[in-house]
Amino acid sequence: MARLLHTSDTHLGYRQYHLDERRQDFADAFAEVMSAAIQQDVDAVVHAGDLFHTSRPGITPLQTVLTELQRLQDANIPFLLIVGNHERTHDRNWVELLQEIGLATRLDATGTRVDDTTIYGLDHVPPGQRDRLDYHFEAAETDSAILVGHGLFKPFGHGDWSTQRILAQSPVDFDLMLVGDDHGADYRLVSNSRPNSNDGTTDTDSTTANEQAAPTSSSQKRIPLSYAGSTERTKADQRDPRTYSLVTVPPNGKINPEEHIDRRVIESAREFVYVDVPLHRGEGIETVEQTIRTEVDSLDDAVLKVTLMAAEDESPIPDSPPENGNGDPADPVVHERVPVGPIENLGTELGALVTRVSNRRDLLEDEREYQAVEFADVDAAVEERREDIIVTETADLFLEMAMNTDQTADSNIADKAQETVTAVLERETPDALHVDTDDIDDDGDEDETVDTAHQPPSVATGGSDDVDNEQLLEDALEEIND
C-alpha cells in the first residue's frame, strides 16, 4: 500500500501584488507541505507541475526548493514531479537540474515505482500539439498505476484536454490521475473502459458532479481524476481554502476518493477576507465603506478583496430609456462610480496587507453597457502584466526604452532601437532576438516544449528557418515602429 502526498501549483517566487511578503507566503506554504510529508512519513511527494512561478526563478525561490528538498531527502522521502506550463521551456529547465543533483525525480513514460505502485508523468503540452500525441507508457510491473499530469482536464467544465483519449490510448491501465494546473481542489470520476478502437475519435468525458460516487460497475471501471489545488492564492477570487492531499493507494488499486483522498488545509496560507457589497443605483462610496466597517473589525495583514455588485432586487437597465412627462426620453439612471482609492485607504486603516477592488456592476452610458475599469497604480498594473509575458533579454531592453519615455523621446525611439539591435547582433547570435512562437499558447502564456526524452507522446518539433541578421533587424524595427 503506497501513501503519497499530492501537491501542485506552488508557484515559488511569485511576488504577488509586487510584495516580498507574498513571495515569502508561497515559500512558507511549500515548507508547510514538505513538513506534513515528513510528519506523515509518506512514501513519496508527488508534485503535479508549476513548482516555480516563472521559468527564470531568482535565488530566493531556488534556495527555498533546495532547502526543503534536502529535508525530504534526509527523511528518505522521494520528490516526484513533472513540468508545468510555468517551467522553463526553450532548452533545459530547473526540473532537470533538480534531478541531476539528486533531489528530485522527473516522472515520465517509463514510470517510477513507489512501493507496490508505478507512477507515470505527463508534462503540460500546449493544446495545439495534443492531437499529435501518442501516449506510449511502458508497461507497469505493479498491480496499480497512477498518471500525474498538468493541464485542464475533462470532464471538468473548463477542461480542454480529453482524459478519455489519454486513458483509451494508453497501454497502461491507470487506477488514478493526480493532476495540477487548476488551482481549486476537486475530483471527478472518469470512465476507464476500453473502447473497441483506440483511434482516439471517441470523446465521452461526461461525468458530472452529481455522479461523484464510488465506482460501482465492474463492466465499466471509473477512476478518480483529482486536483490538489494551489498552495497559495495566485488570484484574489480563489476563495476556497488552499490544500494538499494525502493519497492512499490500496493493494488492489481500487481507489474510492471519499475514502482514499484526504484533503488537508494549509494553515500558513495568508488569509483573504472577502467583502461583497451589493449596491442599488445611487449608492456609492459611503455605502461601500459602511459595509466594510460592518463586516470587518481588524484585518491583521490579511488581503482584503472587495467586490462591488448590483443588488439582487435591482431592476435591469432597460434597452431604451423611459419617457418623462413631456414625452421626451428621461435621463438614464446609472450606477454611481465608486473610486478605488478611498477603499484601499480604508483597508490600510483596518490593517490589510493589500486591498483589491473589482467592479461587477453593469453601467449604462452613451446608450451602451460596459464595465468600469480603474487602476489605483497604473505602473504596478503594467509591471504585473510584464511579469506574465515571455520576452528575450533583448526585447526587455526595448520594453524599458518604451516605458521610460523621459529617457527616450518618441521621435528618437526608432533610431535608438536600431542602435540597440545592431549592438546586440555584434556581440550575440541571432537567437538573442528569437522567441519560438510554438512555445506560446493561445492565451499568451509560456508553455513547455515537448521533450520526447521524457514525454510519452511523440511530437515532431520542426526547426525554424535560418534568418540572417539583416532580416532580424528589419523585423525588429517593424515591430518597434508598429
Lowest mean pLDDT among 148-152, 171-175, 381-385: 381-385
* pLDDT score of 357: 95
The residues facing 7 across adjacent strands are: 47
Q: Residues with Cβ < 8 Å from 304, sequence gap 6 or more?
A: 272, 273, 275, 292, 296, 347, 350, 352, 354, 355, 356
Rounded to an integer, the average pLDDT of 52-67 is 92
Lowest mean pLDDT among 180-184, 211-215, 281-285: 211-215
Identify which has the larger pLDDT, 329 or 270: 270
Residue 196 has pLDDT above 50, yes or no: no
Quote the CA–CA distance of 304 and 310 in Å, as a whole number. 20
Rounded to an integer, the average pLDDT of 437-457 is 44
Identify which has the larger pLDDT, 310 or 206: 310
Catalytic residue among 6, 47, 53, 86: 86
By the 8 A CB rule, do 394 and 421 touch?
yes
By the 8 A CB rule, do 119 and 111 touch?
yes
pLDDT (tens digit per residue) in 230-240: 999 999 999 99
Lowest mean pLDDT among 103-117, 243-257, 300-314: 300-314
Identify which has the larger pLDDT, 213 or 362: 362
Single-letter residue type at 112: T
Rounded to an integer, the average pLDDT of 138-161 is 94
65, with CB counted inside 10 A (0-12, 13-18, 19+), is buried
Lowest mean pLDDT among 102-111, 302-311, 330-339, 471-480: 471-480
Q: Residues with Cβ < 8 Å from 416, sequence gap 6 or more?
A: 401, 408
Catalytic, 124? Answer no
Rounded to an integer, the average pLDDT of 279-297 is 93
Please give the angle made by the CA atoms of 130, 448 and 101, to the nearest 5 degrees: 130
Rounded to an integer, the average pLDDT of 337-361 is 94
Quote the CA–CA distance of 28 and 33 in Å, as a whole number. 9
Quote the CA–CA distance of 257 and 262 in Å, as a whole number. 8
The residues facing 177 across adjacent strands are: 147, 225
Residue 197 has pLDDT above 60, yes or no: no
Lowest mean pLDDT among 142-156, 248-262, 306-320, 461-475: 461-475
Task: Quickly state the pLDDT bin for 211 (edges 50, 70, 90).
Answer: very low
How high does pLDDT run on average in the chain?
79
Rounded to an integer, the average pLDDT of 340-344 is 95
- Which of 233, 241, 179 has the alpha carbon at shortest distance from 14? 233
Rounded to an integer, the average pLDDT of 431-449 is 49
Torsion sign, CA atoms 140, 141, 143, 148:
negative
Rounded to an integer, the average pLDDT of 125-130 is 88
Task: Quickly state the pLDDT bin for 307 (edges 50, 70, 90).
Answer: very high
Residue 445 has pLDDT above 70, yes or no: no
pLDDT (tens digit per residue) in 385-431: 555 555 566 666 666 666 554 444 455 556 666 677 777 676 666 66
pLDDT (tens digit per residue) in 60-114: 999 999 999 999 999 999 999 999 988 755 566 788 889 999 999 999 999 999 9
- Which of 55, 53, 33 has the alpha carbon at shortest distance from 42? 33
Residue 98 backbone phi and psi in degrees, to 5? -60, -35
- Per cent of the chain over pLDDT 90 is 53
* pLDDT score of 4: 98
- Which of 393, 413, 391, 395 has the alpha carbon at shortest distance from 404? 413
* pLDDT score of 201: 41
**Is this prediction's pTM over 0.85?**
no
Quote the CA–CA distance of 194 and 70 in Å, as a whole number. 42
Identify which has the larger pLDDT, 436 or 249: 249
Domains of the chain: 2-265 (3.60.21.10), 272-370 (no CATH), 391-434+452-481 (no CATH)
Quote the CA–CA distance of 229 and 171 in Å, as a whole number. 28
Task: Quickly state the pLDDT bin for 322 (edges 50, 70, 90).
Answer: low
By the 8 A CB rule, do 179 and 239 touch?
no
207: cell is 461525468
